[in-house]
A and B are shown apart, each in its own frame.
Chain A
Amino acid sequence: MTFAALANAISTALVPLLLLLIPLAGLLRKVRVYDAFVEGAKEGFNVAVRIIPFLVAMLVAIGMFRASGAMALLARAVEPATRLVGMPAEALPAALLRPLSGSGTLALVSEVMRTNGPDSFVGRLVSTIYGSTETTFYVLAVYFGAVGIRGTRHAVAAGLLGDLAGIAAALLVCRLLF
């Protein structure tokens, strides 16, 4: 249980420490901390507004899918397979969507937490899955596209293996901690 205690201490202390130390470091480096903060904070509104169309598109499709009873059918169909590795069926769609779409996964993860509660096991698991990797296909498309690379060689394989490892590790760590 010391591992869990340590992890919890880190989770609890990291944010207040960063909120204290970063402005202090800024002060030492003679940054006008208040002005810099306000300038950065303006971006917060833009980021939140920018994801609205993605959230609406995915949440509507997912909401319709759930309401029709199709999600329950799908969950029942895949449950035997996911139960083998201890993955709750509700978390599976988020795991499958993670490499494809960051905003889509965020919508799914929000929906899972709204339905099951953010502090349920599955709520914590999907939160961890969301943060465990980046959106592989988006990163590859943007970065390779920018320099005109068409032969991507082993980039997709390496990225997807990383995603798989991240999701497996998220499941394992959440089982150990929560």
Chain B
Amino acid sequence: MLNAVWIGLIVIAVVVGAATGRLDAVTKAAFDSSRGAVELAIGLVGVMALWLGVMKIAEEAGIVRVLARLLRPVARRLFPDVPADHPALAAIVLNVSASWLGLGNAATPLGLKAMEELQKLNPAKDTASNAMVTFLALNTSSITLVPATIIAVRVTLGSANPTEIVAPTILASACATVVAVGAAKLLERLPVFRVAAPPTPHPETADEGRP
């Protein structure tokens, strides 16, 4: 998909540039943009280093684990198919906590661990379970408390108030998360999305561990 977008942009640029007689400007833009890209990335180094350093402290101080404990009751309700004491739930909660803190590098391994655990509970091994889709809905719309990358770009480009977008970003991503998870929960009931062999319910979740 991205390949098509990329080559499409270049083809259109050269064709339109030739038609409008701006090929020299197109050439200049190609060189200027490549230099600008490197300057932008190098400008990110300082702020990224600052943030990742602080996040490493958070990780070692066990802040991620504390957040995970707070989120546990919500997680049980979102994933009714997962037994309350199953390691999948712990991995999910740790992954979500890490991504809220902007710990992308810590979040991905935890998320992959969560997927492996969910796969053990999945009756149809090549088809996504309801819990997997709900989990990925949480991940594709993830809330980030501090959008460090975009703040770094704003600093680099000389913004007078680089962090003013923090509250709008939290609000917008909260909306995205609510809609994505809500959609996952509603769509899983549609006949189009039903699994061919209905999953057998886990008896231990039926009456145990509900808040």
Using a CB–CB cutoff of 8 Å, the interface residues on chain A facing chain B are 6-8, 10-12, 14-15, 18-19, 22-23, 25-26, 28-29, 31, 33, 36-45, 47-49, 51-52, 55-70, 73, 97, 99-101, 104, 106-107, 109-110, 113-114, 117-119, 123-124, 127-137, 139-140, 142-144, 146-155, 157-159, 161-170, 173-174, 177
Contacts and interface: CB of A to CB of B under 8 A. Distances in A.
Contacts of A130: 147, 149-150
**Interface size classification for chain B:** 35 or more
- State the main secondary structure of chain B at its contact with A: helix
A40 B54 contact: yes
B140 A70 contact: no
A1 B190 CA distance: 42
Contact of A67 (B17, B170, B172): B17
Interface string B144-155: 111101110110
Contact of B61 (A25, A61, A109, A167): A25
A65 B190 contact: no
Contact of A139 (B37, B125, B136): B136
Given A31-B60, A41-B49, A51 B41 contact: yes
A162 B179 contact: yes
B58 interface: yes
Contact of A169 (B45, B105, B175): B175
A110 B54 contact: no
B70 interface: no
Given A124-B164, A137-B1, A106 B149 contact: yes
Given A44-B50, A61-B13, A128 B2 contact: no
Contacts of B145: 14, 18
B44 interface: yes
A100 B2 contact: yes
B141 to A, nearest CB: 4
Given A14-B166, A127-B150, A153-B133, A37 B175 contact: no
Interface string B113-133: 001101100001111100011
Max chain B Cβ within 10 angstroms of own Cβ: one of A106, A151, A166: A166
